[in-house]
């Protein structure tokens, strides 16, 4: 019965399971609500960079911080469970095949070029951020931001690159989102661009349980945005951001023949630029009278360029499988 349901409704069963797992993990955080705040306070004070390795000593001290791993792992865990139950060993083999750096006939030169392009975009984005922060010193948080990566220029640059492989968002989520759900959406909707919009909305909404502790506090000041209206606008902006990110990730995913590693790195580049690099900096910018995160103009511009140049297929070749 369960197997039949999974095979008939793989998208629904996957997403429901991913959402339930994420919500359950968020519920566990309520058992020790001060733990995450302690972690961020320590990160700001010392300072240090959060990733799957650096947080581990803190996890050993306060086990509730395991939720920092378990929450982003929920989509991948859901994909593994659904595939194992629905398609067994063969299905798992097909899913893990997507962990190659390039596949489906993509030659190494073409694949390497995609990763080089991502590195160039990341370098250009970091340069843009540094220029914004340098223009605002001494109160921009530039010194503290750099200190989180290292004490020398070589150490800072090296760890900025290494961080892309250690970010929990991309590393722990993407086998579920892009490895399992996205290819099914593309086949179902017959439009990669529409699949990105749908996945972007669902991906953004999946993060909502993280806000439950703030909502349960009953204090609007605890919400992201500072008020209920600000909270709503923040959530809308966040979902719009996940739609844009889905377009960017889809392009490199298709250009590497459906590689989850390309999705992981693109996801982590987006997170590192919008969170890791700017977590404690005053990095908003003004465009046409609107205040926005410093990464927003770059991401939106790249998404528009991709859609205009690659069309609604976003780089997926006519005869290729997603």
- What's residue 221's pLDDT? 56
Tokens 């378990």 — which residue? Answer: 70
So what's the pLDDT on residue 314?
A: 95
State residue 284's pLDDT score.
76
pLDDT value at residue 289: 65
Q: Quick one: 116 exposed, middle or buried, by C-beta within 10 A (0-12, 13-18, 19+)?
A: exposed
Q: Please choose, from the candidates 205, 206, 184, the residue with its C-alpha nearest in 3D space to the C-alpha of residue 195.
A: 184
The answer to whether 203 and 194 are in contact (CB under 8 A) is no
| 76 token code pair | 């991948």
- Alpha helix positions (H), the chain: 2-8, 10-29, 34-45, 56-61, 67-97, 108-134, 142-147, 153-166, 168-176, 182-189, 192-206, 212-216, 228-255, 260-271, 296-310
Which residues share a beta bridge with 287? 290
Structure-block tokens of residue 42: 């320590």
DSSP string, 201-219: HHHHHHTGGGGHHHHHTT-
Question: Residue 218: what pLDDT?
Answer: 58
Task: State the number of CA atoms in the 13 A half-sphere of 286 facing the CB.
Answer: 2
Q: Where are the domains of the chain?
A: 2-310
> In whole angstroms, how far apart are CA 305 and each of 247, 255, 312, 314?
11, 15, 12, 10
**For residue 191, what is the DSSP state?**
-
**pLDDT by 10s per residue, the chain, length 322:** 889 999 999 999 999 999 999 999 998 988 887 888 888 888 888 888 889 999 999 999 999 999 999 999 999 999 999 999 999 999 999 999 999 999 998 999 999 999 999 999 999 989 988 888 888 877 788 888 888 898 898 999 999 999 999 999 999 999 999 999 999 999 999 899 999 999 999 999 999 988 877 676 655 655 666 777 878 888 888 999 999 999 999 999 999 999 999 999 999 999 998 888 887 787 877 766 667 788 888 899 999 999 999 999 999 988 777 8
Rounded to whole angstroms, the Cα distance separating 115 from 8 reads 36
pTM value is 0.94
């Amino acid at each position: 019965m369960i197997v039949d349901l999974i095979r008939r409704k793989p998208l629904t069963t996957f997403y429901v399971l991913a959402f339930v797992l994420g919500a359950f993990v968020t519920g566990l955080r309520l058992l020790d609500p001060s733990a995450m705040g302690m972690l961020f306070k320590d990160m700001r004070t010392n300072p240090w960079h959060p990733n799957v390795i650096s947080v581990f000593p803190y996890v050993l001290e306060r086990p509730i911080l395991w939720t920092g791993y378990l929450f982003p792992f929920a989509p991948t865990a859901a994909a593994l469970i659904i595939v194992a139950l629905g398609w067994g060993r063969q299905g798992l083999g097909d899913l893990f095949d997507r962990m190659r750096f390039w596949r489906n006939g993509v030659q190494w030169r073409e694949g390497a070029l995609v990763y080089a392009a991502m590195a160039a975009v990341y370098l250009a984005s970091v340069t843009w951020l540094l220029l914004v922060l340098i223009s605002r010193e001494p109160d921009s948080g530039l010194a503290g931001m750099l200190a989180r990566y290292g004490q020398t220029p070589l150490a800072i640059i090296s760890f900025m690159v290494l961080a892309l492989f250690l970010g929990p968002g991309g590393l722990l989520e993407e086998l579920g989102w892009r490895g399992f759900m996205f290819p099914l959406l593309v086949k179902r909707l017959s439009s990669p661009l529409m699949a990105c919009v749908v996945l972007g909305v669902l991906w953004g909404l999946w993060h909502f349980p993280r806000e439950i502790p703030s909502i349960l506090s009953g204090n609007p000041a605890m919400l992201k945005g500072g008020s209920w209206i600000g909270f709503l606008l923040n959530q809308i902006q966040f979902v719009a951001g996940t739609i844009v990110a889905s377009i960017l990730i889809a392009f490199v995913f298709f250009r590497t023949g459906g590689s989850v590693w390309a999705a992981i790195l693109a996801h982590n580049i987006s997170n590192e630029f919008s969170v890791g690099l700017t977590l404690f900096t005053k990095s908003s910018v003004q465009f046409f009278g609107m205040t926005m995160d410093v990464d927003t103009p770059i991401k939106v511009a790249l998404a528009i360029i991709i859609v205009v140049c690659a069309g609604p297929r976003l780089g997926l070749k006519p005869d290729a499988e997603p």
